[in-house]
Structure 1
Amino acid sequence: MMKIGIIREYKDPPDSRAPLTPSQVAFLRNELDIDIVVQSAPGRCYSDNEYTEAGVPVVESVHDCDVLMGVKEVPVHKLIAGKTYMIFSHTIKKQEQNRKLLKEILKYNIRLIDYELLTNTHGQRLIAFGHFAGMVGAHNALWTWGKKTGQFDLPRMKDLLDYEAAKKTYGKIKLPPVKIVLTGTGRVGTGALLTLKDMGIKQIDPEMYLNEKFPYPVFTQLLPHHYAANVDGDAFDKSVFYNDPAQFKSIFWPFACSSDIMVNGIYYVDDAPAFFTLE
C-alpha cells in the first residue's frame, strides 16, 4: 500500500502552514483507508498533539513514505531520493532562486507534483493561495498603518486562530478616515476586498474617491483602465494591455496623491508601466 507523509516545513522565516488538517488526515485514514502519517513539527499551526488526538501517527522520519506532502519548497539537503513530492516548488516560472532545487529534483529521480499546475478541465487552478494572500495583505496594510501612526492596534494575522478571530478584532477598533486604493480584481484583489469590507470600510466609486473627502474610512477598487492608458491615446483595450503592456503609460498618480494606503493586487511584469516612480 502506498504510504503518504506530511512533512515539516523548513522555510526561513518559518512557515507554519500544513497541507492537511488533523480532521482531514483522520478522514483519509479512517474513511478511505489511506496510510498517512505526519512528521513532527513544533512550529506548525496544528500541534503534534492535535494530530495525535485525531488518531494520526506523528513520526520523526518519513523515509518509509512513498509520497511526501508539504507546502513550500524543500531545501536541497532535505530531499529524499526516489520519492514523490507534492509542494509549491516555485519553479514553473523559471524562478532563478530555485533552479538548483529543480536540478537536484531531477538528479535524485524525484517525481514532482506542483500544486500550481493542478487544474480542472477548463485549465483553472485547483489550488491557489491568492485569495488568502489578498486577505492577509489588506490586514497587514492596516496593521502597518496603525503601527506607523499609533492611532489603532491590530494583532498580526499569523497570531490569530482563524479569520473569524480576525473579524472579531475588526469590530473592536475605530479606524480613522483613511483613504485606501486597491488594485486588482483577481484572487488577490477579491481577497483584499473581502477583508476591507469586513473591517467596515466603505467602498467608493473611483471618480468620487478622487473628488470628495470623507469623514470615515473609504476604499476604491481600480480596474486596469483606471491606472493605465495607451501611450498613443487610443481607447483602452484590456486584451491589448495584458498582451503588450509596454504600449501603455501609468495614469495612477491622481490616486497616489489622494490615498493614504495602497493595497496592490495585480501581477506586475517588467514591461508594464510602473504605478509611480521616485521621480
Structure 2
Amino acid sequence: MTKIGILKEGKIPVDKRVAITPHQASQIKESFSDLELVCQKSEIRCFSDQDYIEESIEMVDHVDDCDIIFGVKEVPLGQLIPDKTYFFFSHTIKKQDYNRELLNEALDKNVRLIDYETLTSADGQRIIAFGRYAGIVGAYNGIWSFGKRYNLFNIRRAHECFDLADMRTEYDKVKLPVIKIAITGGGRVAKGAMEVLLGLGVRQVTPERYVNEDFNEPVFTQLNSRDYNKPEEGREFSRAEFFDHPEHFESDFFQYAKCTDLLIACAFWNPAAPVLFTREQATLRDFKIKIIADVTCDIEGSIPSTVRPTTIDDPVFDFDATTGAEKPVFSDEGNITVMSVDNLPCELPRNASEDFGAELIKNVLPCLLGEDPDRIIERATITDKGKLTSHYAYLQDYADGKE
C-alpha cells in the first residue's frame, strides 16, 4: 500500500497554501482504495487541522513513514527525508544559486524530486500551476496601487479578505477615471488578471483601438507576443520563430507605453527576447506608464523598474527612471510605482489551494498512481536514485558549483 503525506510548510516567510485541501484529501482516499493518506499537523495553513479531521484525515506529527510527500514551497535545508518521493516547487531548474544546496541534498539523500513546474503534457503545456491566482491578485494589487497613488479609493488588500468571493465585494468601491490599462501575456496568469478587470466593469478593446482611439471610460487591452515584438528586417511575425529564436526580434512596445496608465505584466519572458522597454525610454516625455504591476517579477528582466521583489506586507515602491534608483513609494509624480510581490497566490491561499489541488487530482495523481503513457512523471523527475535524470543532466555543473 502506498502512503501519501501532506507536508507542513517550513519555509520562511510563511506560506499558508497547501497542495491538497481537506475535502480533496477525502476524495483521494475514496478514489484510490489501496492508498493511505495522512496530513502533518500545522498551525499556519489556511485550512486548520480540524478541517482535515472533519474529513476523516489522520493528523500526524511526522511524515517519515510516507512514500510520497506533497508540499508547496522548497523544503528547508536539512529537512528532506531520505529515500522519499517529494513534490514541491524546487526553484532549481533555472540554476537558481539560492537552491543549489537543496538540489544537492536531494541527490545526497536519494530523494526522488518532482517539481510541479516541470509537470507538462505531451505537447509541453504545464498541467498544474498557481498562475491564475497570481494574475488575479496581481491585477487587484495594481488597482489597489492606483487608488493609493492618486487617493481615489480605499480597498482591502487581497490577503485581508477571507477568499476570492470576499475580495470581489471590494469591487464596488473602485471608481476608476478614464484610463488605459495594458495586460501582457495570453496564458493562465493573464486570464486571471482579465478576470479582475472584467469583474470591475472595465471594457476590453483591441490593441489597435487601444493605441489609436480615445475613450470616455476606463479600458484595457490584452497583448500577446505578436502585438509588441516585431521581427528584424521587416519579416512577418511567426510565433514559432519567436519562441525558437527570440533574439531575432525587437520590441515594439513603446507604442503602448505612450498611452498606458497602468501596466499589468503577465507574460513569460525569455532572457534572449527583447526587453519590454528600456530605462532610457521610460525617461522620455511621451512615456506615460505610472504604475506597473509586475506579476512575472523577473528581477532586472524585461521591465527595468523591477529592481527587486516586494512582499505582501510591503508591496510597492517607486522607481526613478532618470537615475535608475528606488525611491519611497508615492514620493514623486515623476516616478513609476512598482508592485512586484513574488508570491501573489499566497494572498488568496484557500482558493489557490483548491484550484491547485483539483489539477493535482485530475492531471497528476492518475499518472503517478496508475498508467502514465505520456511519461509525465518521468519527464518531471529531476533527481532519482542519487542522480540527476537525463532530462536534467544540464544541472550537473550547477550542482557541482561550477556555474
- TM-score normalised to structure 1 length: 0.91
How far apart, in 2, do the equivalents of 1:188 and 1:103 lie? 31
Give the aligned partner of residue 13 of structure 1.
13
Give the aligned partner of residue 23 of structure 1.
23
- Answer whether contact 2:78 2:105 (CA < 8 A) is retained: no
How far apart, in 2, do the equivalents of 1:124 and 1:145 lie? 34
- Uncovered stretches (5+) of structure 2, i.e. residues with no partner: 281-403
Give the aligned partner of residue 221 of structure 1.
222
- Answer whether contact 2:203 2:218 (CA < 8 A) is retained: yes
Query: Is 1:209–2:206 an aligned residue pair?
Result: no
How far apart, in 2, do the equivalents of 1:123 and 1:237 lie? 19
Give the aligned partner of residue 170 of structure 2.
169
Give the aligned partner of residue 154 of structure 2.
153
CA separation of 1:260/1:11 partners in 2, compared to 1, >3 Å: closer, same or farther? Answer: farther
| 3-state DSSP of counterpart to 2:169 | helix
- TM-score normalised to structure 2 length: 0.65
How far apart, in 1, do the equivalents of 2:59 and 2:228 lie? 51
| 3-state DSSP of counterpart to 2:135 | helix
More divergent stretch after superposition (73-82 vs 87-96): 87-96
How far apart, in 1, do the equivalents of 2:250 and 2:157 lie? 36
How far apart, in 2, do the equivalents of 1:178 and 1:59 lie? 53
Aligned-partner residue type, residue 2 of structure 2: M
| 3-state DSSP of counterpart to 2:233 | coil
Structure 1, residues 206-257: CA drift from partner, whole Å, max 9, x if none? Answer: 2221233333221011122321222322232222222222222212112112
How far apart, in 2, do the equivalents of 1:141 and 1:106 lie? 41
Deviation, 1:69, is 0.8
Deviation, 1:31, is 5.5
More divergent stretch after superposition (32-41 vs 79-88): 32-41
Give the aligned partner of residue 298 of structure 2.
none
| 3-state DSSP of counterpart to 1:134 | helix
| 3-state DSSP of counterpart to 1:5 | strand
- Uncovered stretches (5+) of structure 1, i.e. residues with no partner: none
Aligned-partner residue type, residue 13 of structure 1: P
| Percentage identity across paired residues of the two chains | 44
More divergent stretch after superposition (105-114 vs 137-146): 137-146
How far apart, in 2, do the equivalents of 1:211 and 1:67 lie? 55
Deviation, 1:122, is 4.1
| 3-state DSSP of counterpart to 1:18 | coil
Please list, as runs of the form range in 1=range in 2, the aligned pairs for 1:85-124 lying within 5 A after superposition: 85-124=86-125
| 3-state DSSP of counterpart to 2:234 | coil
Aligned-partner residue type, residue 18 of structure 2: A
Please list, as runs of the form range in 1=range in 2, the aligned pairs for 1:119-138 lying within 5 A after superposition: 119-138=120-139
How far apart, in 2, do the equivalents of 1:119 and 1:213 lie? 42
Structure 1, residues 27-80: CA drift from partner, whole Å, max 9, x if none? Answer: 333554432121122221111221122222222222222221111111122111
Aligned-partner residue type, residue 90 of structure 2: S
More divergent stretch after superposition (198-207 vs 28-37): 28-37
Please list, as runs of the form range in 1=range in 2, the aligned pairs for 1:12-51 lying within 5 A after superposition: 12-30=12-30, 32-33=32-33, 34-51=35-52
Aligned-partner residue type, residue 192 of structure 2: G
How far apart, in 1, do the equivalents of 2:253 and 2:122 lie? 37
Give the aligned partner of residue 241 of structure 1.
242
How far apart, in 2, do the equivalents of 1:190 and 1:236 lie? 23
Query: Is 1:79–2:107 an aligned residue pair?
Result: no
Give the aligned partner of residue 270 of structure 2.
269
| 3-state DSSP of counterpart to 2:78 | helix
Deviation, 1:17, is 0.5
How far apart, in 1, do the equivalents of 2:51 and 2:148 lie? 34
Deviation, 1:275, is 1.4
How far apart, in 2, do the equivalents of 1:19 and 1:101 lie? 20
Give the aligned partner of residue 370 of structure 2.
none
Aligned-partner residue type, residue 105 of structure 1: A
| 3-state DSSP of counterpart to 2:230 | strand
Count, aligned residues: 279
Aligned-partner residue type, residue 189 of structure 2: V
CA separation of 1:249/1:185 partners in 2, compared to 1, >3 Å: closer, same or farther? Answer: same
Deviation, 1:173, is 2.7
How far apart, in 1, do the equivalents of 2:106 and 2:31 lie? 33
Deviation, 1:121, is 4.3
CA RMSD in angstroms, aligned pairs only: 2.0
CA separation of 1:236/1:124 partners in 2, compared to 1, >3 Å: closer, same or farther? Answer: closer
How far apart, in 2, do the equivalents of 1:7 and 1:61 lie? 9
Structure 1, residues 162-215: CA drift from partner, whole Å, max 9, x if none? Answer: 322222321343222221111111222222222221121110122221233333
CA separation of 1:136/1:177 partners in 2, compared to 1, >3 Å: closer, same or farther? Answer: same
Aligned-partner residue type, residue 197 of structure 1: L
- Answer whether contact 2:153 2:175 (CA < 8 A) is retained: yes
Give the aligned partner of residue 186 of structure 1.
187
CA separation of 1:176/1:13 partners in 2, compared to 1, >3 Å: closer, same or farther? Answer: farther
